[in-house]
Amino acid sequence: MSESLQHVVGQRLRAHRQRLGLSQEKLADQLGYHRTYLGSVERGERNLTLVSLEQLAERLGVDPLDLLRP
Amino acid sequence: MSESLQHVVGQRLRAHRQRLGLSQEKLADQLGYHRTYLGSVERGERNLTLVSLEQLAERLGVDPLDLLRP
């Protein structure tokens, strides 16, 4: 089975954060999330809902689909 | 704001079902879902998780991203 969507979202989020040169803590602060939440999303441990995915994308300023494409 | 992902998934599911020429009841039967669940997904009323979206796509035999692209 191809990579799970959870892991794809985690990798895309991490890549985006690293492009910004931010730590998890800094990005979490900026986005209004707790650092541990953001860390768990990056590790693919969070079974996000469509609404929470949209919220994350909106706060990052990206299209939700950008977080889903491997 | 663009269409919510919930509504996009609903429209894509409905389009797929109609291509198959199936009623909600028939498709729900085939996929092992209750008809009312499938109906609510089609109407964009369900805040699906990534895992349930993957399950729906797998049962439909499509890529999850196919259910997310408007």
Instruction: Identify whether B22 is part of a domain.
Output: yes
Q: Which of chain A's residues have a Cβ under 8 Å away from the Cβ of B64?
A: 5, 68
With 60 as the cut, is the pLDDT of residue A1 above it? no
Domain count, chain B: 1
Instruction: Identify whether A56 is part of a domain.
Output: yes
ipTM value of the model? Answer: 0.90
Q: Which of chain A's residues have a Cβ under 8 Å away from the Cβ of B5?
A: 50-51, 53-54, 64
Instruction: Identify whether B68 is part of a domain.
Output: no
Instruction: Identify whether B13 is part of a domain.
Output: yes
Instruction: Identify whether B30 is part of a domain.
Output: yes
Does A64 lie at the interface with B, CB-CB under 8 angstroms? Answer: yes
Locate the chain A residue with the closest alpha carbon to B58: A1
Dump pLDDT digits (tens) for B45-68.
999 999 999 999 999 999 999 999
Per the structure, the complete domain to which residue B23 belongs is given by: 5-61
Does A7 lie at the interface with B, CB-CB under 8 angstroms? Answer: no
Based on its alpha-carbon atoms, the radius of gyration of chain B, rounded to whole angstroms, reads 11
Instruction: Identify whether A70 is part of a domain.
Output: no
CB-count burial class (<10 Å; 0-12, 13-18, 19+) for B57: buried
Instruction: Identify whether A31 is part of a domain.
Output: yes
Instruction: Identify whether A68 is part of a domain.
Output: no
